A and B are shown apart, each in its own frame.
Chain A
Amino acid sequence: MGSGGNGREGCKSGSAVRSCEDALSRLYDLLDGELDDVTGEQVVAHFEACRRCYPHLACERAFKTALKRTMEGRKAPPELRREVLSLLEGLADDD
């Protein structure tokens, strides 16, 4: 299946970050919280020290933050909540 095969999905290799390409290839794993602490620290360390790579971390982070922000405080409409609750009560009565 080539180098993109399923065996590497764990992202928990813990191997040192040896190059910009290394760090960049793990940027999303880092931002998505998929790296173990040790590897995560190593990846962050590279971005903070590398002038060329830093904008990638900063911009992708800003991007994720902006997306997350769109959902802040968004809840189901109150009448939907009531409807679901009464649905459940109806079902529970049938049990």
Chain B
Amino acid sequence: MKEAATAETRFREEALPHLDAVYRFALRLTGSPDRAEDLVQETFLRAYRHWDQYTSGTNCKSWLFTICRNLFLRQRERGQRHDEIIQENLASDGGIAGTGVPLVNPMWSDPNNVDPEGRFFESIIDTEILEAIDSLPEDYRVAVVLSDLEGLSYAEMAEVMDVPVGTVKSRLFRGRRRLQKQLFDYAVESGYLAPRGATGP
């Protein structure tokens, strides 16, 4: 009896503090607050049941995220949501981490760039950014969410995503570039930015 009380206490102290983060992750995975809530409950349920598999003091957040993602994938296999499958081509064709994504981001290297500090990002409202993130293919979205929204390291991401670090970086770079282009185009459409190469009214 006493042992169970200790396990529950440890769970509350170590796992529960990550509830908000797991919810945020679940929301980006499922795209729906209702499904996110279900996924969070299932995640913590499963985590509690498998608590003996977790070594206290190691990376609880990554562990929970891994459970969450695996549950989501299993749900998805049952046909709830389909996303496009990305052809991963990790052949070394230069660019960043062999992705073929050009090292020099043309958006920032335009000599007519009137915003060399990227201030226009401050003008874009959060909902627009989140919509853009949500429109990314899932593998890219997960990478961007884990790194840029939740601050996981590459090693942690490799664990959650169950891929090598090289793949993490590749998806991250491609996802970020796609996202930047979308936000950049949105900023131009919304008038926050002059179109590239514009020379005046």
When distances are taken between beta carbons in the complex, the residues of chain A under 8 Å from B97 are 4
Question: B107: CB under 8 A from chain A?
Answer: yes
Q: Scan A1-26; emit 1 where CB is below 8 A from any B CB, else 0.
A: 11111100100000000000100110
Question: Are B107 and A59 neighbours in the complex by a CB distance under 8 Å?
Answer: yes
Question: Are A67 and B11 neighbours in the complex by a CB distance under 8 Å?
Answer: no
- Give Cα A70 to B173, complex, Å: 20
When distances are taken between beta carbons in the complex, the residues of chain B under 8 Å from A71 are 24, 149-150
Minimum CB distance partner of A85 in chain B: B16
Question: Are B8 and A55 neighbours in the complex by a CB distance under 8 Å?
Answer: no
When distances are taken between beta carbons in the complex, the residues of chain B under 8 Å from A80 are 19, 23, 37, 40-41
Chain A interface residue count: which class? 35 or more
Question: Are B109 and A56 neighbours in the complex by a CB distance under 8 Å?
Answer: yes
**Given A6-B166, A32-B147, A84-B19: A59 and B91 interface contact (C-beta under 8 Å):** no
When distances are taken between beta carbons in the complex, the residues of chain A under 8 Å from B149 are 67-68, 70-71
Question: B73: CB under 8 A from chain A?
Answer: no
- Give Cα A92 to B183, complex, Å: 47
When distances are taken between beta carbons in the complex, the residues of chain B under 8 Å from A33 are 153
Question: Are A88 and B147 neighbours in the complex by a CB distance under 8 Å?
Answer: no
B181 to chain A, nearest CB (A): 11
When distances are taken between beta carbons in the complex, the residues of chain A under 8 Å from B7 are 95
The number of residue pairs between A and B whose CB atoms lie closer than 8 Å in the complex comes to 144
Question: B48: CB under 8 A from chain A?
Answer: yes
Within 8 A of B (CB), among A45-67: 52, 54-56, 58-67
Chain B interface residue count: which class? 35 or more
When distances are taken between beta carbons in the complex, the residues of chain A under 8 Å from B98 are 2-4
Question: Are A56 and B108 neighbours in the complex by a CB distance under 8 Å?
Answer: yes
Question: Are B148 and A67 neighbours in the complex by a CB distance under 8 Å?
Answer: yes
- Give Cα A3 to B103, complex, Å: 15
When distances are taken between beta carbons in the complex, the residues of chain A under 8 Å from B45 are 87, 91
Question: B126: CB under 8 A from chain A?
Answer: yes
Q: Which residues of B are interface residues toward A (Cβ below 8 A)?
A: 4-5, 7-8, 11-12, 16, 19-20, 22-24, 33, 37, 40-41, 44-45, 48-49, 90-92, 96-99, 103-105, 107-109, 113, 115-119, 121-122, 124, 126, 129-130, 133, 144, 147-151, 153-154, 164-166, 169, 172-173, 176, 180, 183
The list of the 5 closest CB pairs from A to B, nearest first, reads A4-B98, A2-B92, A62-B118, A59-B118, A95-B4
Subset of 19 A-B contacts with CB under 8 Å: A3-B98, A4-B97, A6-B166, A32-B153, A55-B109, A55-B117, A55-B118, A56-B108, A59-B105, A61-B118, A62-B118, A62-B121, A70-B129, A71-B24, A71-B150, A87-B48, A88-B48, A92-B8, A95-B7
Q: A59-B121, A63-B183, A70-B126 are in contact. List 13 more A-B contacts (CB 8 A).
A: A4-B90, A32-B172, A55-B116, A58-B116, A59-B107, A60-B105, A66-B129, A68-B149, A80-B40, A80-B41, A81-B19, A91-B48, A95-B7
